[in-house]
Amino acid sequence: MNTKSTLAAAATAMMMSGGAWAAESVTLTLNWTPTADHAPYYYAKAQGWYEEAGIDLTIETGRGSGTTAQRVGVGAVQFGIADMATALVARSKGADLVAVMSVYANTPQGFYWLKSSGIEGPKDFVNHSIGNPPGDASRVMWPAFAAAAGIDPLEVSFVNISPQAKMPSLKSGAVDIISDFYNEHDLKVQEFGDDLGYVSWRDVGLNPYGNSVLVNGAYLAENRGVVADFVRITQKAFATCVEDVTPCLDALLGAVTGLDEPTQRNQWNRIKELMTDDFTTTVALGWFDADRMADDYNLVETYFGLDQPFEVTATYTTEFLDQSLRMPK
């Protein structure tokens, strides 16, 4: 056997035995079950982009931003998607995590109710029930919303329901109010029509960063190259899907059952609104603004207190973002 053949055989053996050239296995835990806002990850995976970079990616269904932030923070998974303010709360409790890319430049959080219930706005939430999962970001951040809306946070009751049960529970009267992301707004308009009541968190003056890509801090310190590749590919996937979401939705629907294309397309159009602000259109898609992050830290400190105060600048980085990729104005 000649030298070239010997080297090729050795390389093949190393890869087959999980040697130094084997792909890096990482897990991305979503914030919830997969929908249109997760299509870019599925698209990049289907295109083989992560694999080409030596990343063997597993995408895992989430159970709420609070739970995902905890899993990333203790190193149970390498990457996760979670509401940024919820991630800051987790960081104050000792979670070792760093945000490497913003997905929602604007908060997607909102509350829905039926006007026929007599509720006209947030001040009428008192003595009513709100249905959402226990790990839901809006439940974690409820004290901040209540204070901004001018109501006592203890004068509502929370009912544990799954994400899939939100609309049926509202329709049946099992709960009076539900929390949900703006990207699913069209489904509720179709179901409830003019009887639908809605308030965005932005309407009461709260606009913290929403869903963001998190990485475990210790993993980042030891695997900067892998993290850089993951962010580069993910940012590229989001930019590609903004240009044309059809192949991205095809990848999502090919990997996840129970979704229909028109609904997910409507969601994606809402998601593009949430992704767009002055920084994502002029600096980079996925950008974190230092002043806004400082405001988010102050929000968490004001309404929750901090078990362990920390430097907010240590909880995010923009170093891996390609500034040539931006949201259209």
- The one-digit pLDDT tens for each residue of the chain (329 residues) are 444 444 444 444 444 444 445 899 999 999 989 999 999 999 999 999 999 999 999 999 998 888 999 999 999 999 999 999 899 999 999 999 999 999 999 999 999 999 999 999 999 999 999 999 887 778 878 988 999 999 999 999 999 999 889 999 999 999 999 999 898 899 999 999 999 999 999 999 999 999 999 999 999 999 999 999 999 999 999 999 999 999 999 999 999 999 999 999 999 999 999 999 999 999 999 999 999 999 999 988 987 778 899 999 999 999 999 999 999 98
The C-alpha atoms of residue 183 and residue 192 are separated, in whole angstroms, by: 16
Beta bridge partners of 215: 79, 98
Q: Please report the pLDDT score of residue 16 as a whole number.
A: 41
- CA torsion 112-118-123-129 (nearest 10°) is -60
Cα angle vertex 29, ends 297, 229, to 5°? 85
Topology, domain 109-204:
D-Maltodextrin-Binding Protein; domain 2 (3.40.190)
The C-alpha atoms of residue 49 and residue 316 are separated, in whole angstroms, by: 24
Structure tokens at 71: 């899993």
- Going from N- to C-terminal start, the domains of the chain cover 23-105+209-315, 109-204
> If you classify domain 23-105+209-315 with CATH, what class do you get?
alpha beta
Strand ordering across the sheet containing 157-160: 157-160, 129-132, 177-181, 109-114, 196-200
Q: Across 62-118, where does the E strand assignment appear?
A: 79-83, 97-102, 109-114
pTM of the model: 0.84
The C-alpha atoms of residue 70 and residue 82 are separated, in whole angstroms, by: 10
